[in-house]
Structure 1
């Protein structure tokens, strides 16, 4: 019996549904051939890479969680080498994200899953941001003569590429719960790694590890990661959303709180401390009212005091340093140290913005001298701590447009979260609303918003807020 058009159509569908597996087999065969002619460490890397690719193609959620683990250093950065490519260093988290994007494409082509769950706000946020970045880089290269800064900027904004795809990856309640449990687990791991670095000389994380005194030796190690600390703060919110009764009736929340607070202390970053306290108070009031907040404080305050006592008993100098860091703000304001430098930065940035309001000074544009006494880091002349002035300073009106788009999306999702009827889902969504406040408050004192890990967390934050609001 001759084959019909329907038979051919069915064959094409079957072939398309197997396309991801066929692609993985081909990649594995190619990797095996290369490995046979390469050193052993290349062979091991290719085999492991093929296995990771196979799992990612089977389910993009695996690639997404692997990207999160690598970007936040839940898998310690000191244990994961960067990959040289064309004179540049490619980060493993970037490769994992690209594999996740490839997985979404292959699953979409094969018909296994929708290629994209179109959410207009997500698509427009990503599209407008990349258009603004591209135009600003072109302006920097051909108008301002800056030829060496495009790639580092674009790679930081790579997580925006997956923002439109996230609703299709995180489409069920089970996946949302899994991601939130991963947030908590990763937050605790990161906190423990920071605590180890604070109390010992063992370095597990890549980032800025410095003596707390900067210009004079104190013997206290400060860990600055520029974003992974957000998962520590989010973990505190996600655990605390259940309320005091849950925390006291289960065994794990109390030691988890202690570990998270210990890691947060080890950052010695006051903006994190203040932002966490403000956001936690707001979340408690939103979720449990004034009375519920006071009841929650009866558990949180003793934990903080107990933690301080434990730290002082283990190492009095660390306890004293945390106390001096927290309550030495007035002295720093008088001496013109950190706060004075930031004030000078803002003043000089505003002068440059007035002179270059339309196109900005470019991503590699210098707007100040090295105003700190000794110069803390390379490229200080182009760096600005204030993230909001960063966009306007570097990109002009285009930068303001990017910031406006993000804030508009955040406000719309936050308003939807406040309107959720179910109390538990509303509290869960509000955890991400207050995390947004943390990002914005930290972004004023440290230019972290435009970093890969922060944007990845923000994209996930938007998606989970949308999921909870959409369910109601």
Structure 2
């Protein structure tokens, strides 16, 4: 005989809420656009998860900055002359959560974060210079300087990722997000559709030929998370902390996304980062292993893509060969050199304080016969020149401080760490951090949302790994002391 248990008040309440919510969303689906209904359902869940597991809130920021969710599905709030975007709203929420979680004294004054605070100060100075000295429009100024606020993700991650389990959840979340971004990039490539709001989807053009049947599909700044995930998955497989049955398809999909981006700077800098990772992890043997794996992975990935689009082999070779002709006026390097010439003229007039945020450094011009874009008067590909222009010489020094300190302290942590997981994570972050450092010569990573987000979270991960390793080292020392005491025959109580 079946026995029925009388429902309690909590069960009745939850069931009633579920029924009401279902009916409400059903009615809204009839009246409102589908994407708006989906946004109303997904975003509250994401915010709830962020409140319960703040480290996943950081992953949500990466999702939103990378453009994985369509802009139509993400809310924004009007704030003065601009709007708070969805990822900025999440950052405000995480800041509030972090304020209640700061328990450890000196947590936010660690050495890792010092250059971050310096660049935030330089961003403030650049705002004053742009507004007072150069007469920038408030809307243009806020559009640029708000991106520097993303550096706050570094201290946020130090506060929100408080233990090894939280760090693992964050990394697993990044792996999943990177895989989804890679799938989106490949779908863009195969079907010539735009999925990522920050992506470029266009016919591939080189200096020698235009390929109307081959699509160039990019992930914007999210490409660096894909590279980080490739590195961390590969190291995990090498040390058997991640199943190779999971790593192989994961890496192949992400490698495919990197290939179809057709970014020569990305290819070269990733290779350099991979060699550095091999050296830091396995020394000389690692460099040889990485070289072999790179060849095998490249051939396998291009071969797999060629089964669907056979011309990709020819295109990839042409893309590499066309590098020798860069520097012509119509080449991508030629455009960057033209930007640099204008930048040097502006810097020669104000080399110390720069021209500030929201200020044009070059005249209005058309790009390849397209309509003139007023935003291009302030846009510059070379990040280092861009930082110097907008934040002055102190801003440039702050950026160089961030790069040098992160690489040096990350390298040091990868050698002195007691915990093997922290040691390998530090090596992976250093190798991954190197990639955008190199491409910043030709890409505005220090001035773009995705780039600043990546740099800030990489610094935060290293700071967290350093803290966790210190805890592990103190535990090891405690165990050694206990063993020495027991071997001496002295009881801890009697020793007092």
Same fold (TM over 0.5): yes
In the alignment, is residue 95 of structure 1 matched against residue 92 of structure 2? no
In the alignment, is residue 213 of structure 1 matched against residue 208 of structure 2? no
Determine if contact 1:357/1:396 at 8 Å carries over to the other structure. Answer: yes
Mapping of residues 18-417 of structure 1, within 5 Å:
51-73=45-67, 75-77=68-70, 80-83=73-76, 85=78, 88-107=82-101, 117-147=107-137, 148-207=139-198, 208-213=200-205, 218-242=212-236, 244=238, 246=240, 250-333=244-327, 337-369=331-363, 370=365, 372-374=367-369, 378=373, 379-417=375-413
Cα 1:447/1:178, change in 2 over 3 Å = same
Unaligned runs of 5+ in 2: 1-23, 471-496
Cα 1:306/1:63, change in 2 over 3 Å = closer
Q: Which has the larger radius of gyration?
A: 2
Cα 1:82/1:273, change in 2 over 3 Å = farther
Distance in 1 (alpha carbons) for counterparts of 2:237 and 2:195: 33
Determine if contact 1:365/1:382 at 8 Å carries over to the other structure. Answer: yes
Distance in 1 (alpha carbons) for counterparts of 2:292 and 2:115: 41
Distance in 2 (alpha carbons) for counterparts of 1:158 and 1:393: 18
Distance in 2 (alpha carbons) for counterparts of 1:260 and 1:56: 26
Determine if contact 2:77/2:84 at 8 Å carries over to the other structure. Answer: yes
Residues 408-436 of structure 1, C-alpha deviations (whole Å, 9 max, x = no match): 43144224324324555322211111112
Deviation of 1:375 after TM superposition, in Å, equals 5.3
Query: For 1:453, which of 427, 450, 453 is the aligned residue?
Result: 450
Determine if contact 1:345/1:384 at 8 Å carries over to the other structure. Answer: yes
TM-score, reference length from structure 2: 0.78
Cα 1:335/1:350, change in 2 over 3 Å = closer
Distance in 1 (alpha carbons) for counterparts of 2:54 and 2:389: 37
Residues 392-416 of structure 1, C-alpha deviations (whole Å, 9 max, x = no match): 1222223224313423431442243
Cα 1:342/1:52, change in 2 over 3 Å = closer
Deviation of 1:129 after TM superposition, in Å, equals 2.3
Deviation of 1:195 after TM superposition, in Å, equals 0.7
Determine if contact 2:440/2:446 at 8 Å carries over to the other structure. Answer: yes
Residues 48-103 of structure 1, C-alpha deviations (whole Å, 9 max, x = no match): 65554444333422322221222224x43356334252574432111111111122
Cα 1:45/1:303, change in 2 over 3 Å = closer
In the alignment, is residue 430 of structure 1 matched against residue 427 of structure 2? yes
Cα 1:323/1:443, change in 2 over 3 Å = same
Cα 1:296/1:407, change in 2 over 3 Å = closer
Determine if contact 1:243/1:296 at 8 Å carries over to the other structure. Answer: no
Q: Which residue of 2 aligns with 1:21?
A: none
Distance in 1 (alpha carbons) for counterparts of 2:165 and 2:362: 50
Cα 1:116/1:321, change in 2 over 3 Å = farther
Cα 1:46/1:188, change in 2 over 3 Å = closer
Cα 1:115/1:301, change in 2 over 3 Å = same
Determine if contact 1:196/1:202 at 8 Å carries over to the other structure. Answer: yes
Q: How many residues align?
A: 432
Distance in 2 (alpha carbons) for counterparts of 1:187 and 1:159: 20
TM-score, reference length from structure 1: 0.81
Distance in 2 (alpha carbons) for counterparts of 1:279 and 1:406: 18
Determine if contact 2:236/2:242 at 8 Å carries over to the other structure. Answer: no
Determine if contact 1:387/1:443 at 8 Å carries over to the other structure. Answer: yes
Residues 159-211 of structure 1, C-alpha deviations (whole Å, 9 max, x = no match): 22242232232121112222222222222111111011011133211123333
* RMSD over equivalenced CA pairs, Å: 3.2
Distance in 1 (alpha carbons) for counterparts of 2:274 and 2:372: 33
Distance in 1 (alpha carbons) for counterparts of 2:384 and 2:371: 22
Distance in 2 (alpha carbons) for counterparts of 1:195 and 1:120: 40
Distance in 2 (alpha carbons) for counterparts of 1:295 and 1:442: 24
Which piece of structure 1 moves more, 342-351 or 143-152? 342-351
Cα 1:327/1:139, change in 2 over 3 Å = same
Q: Which residue of 2 aligns with 1:24?
A: none
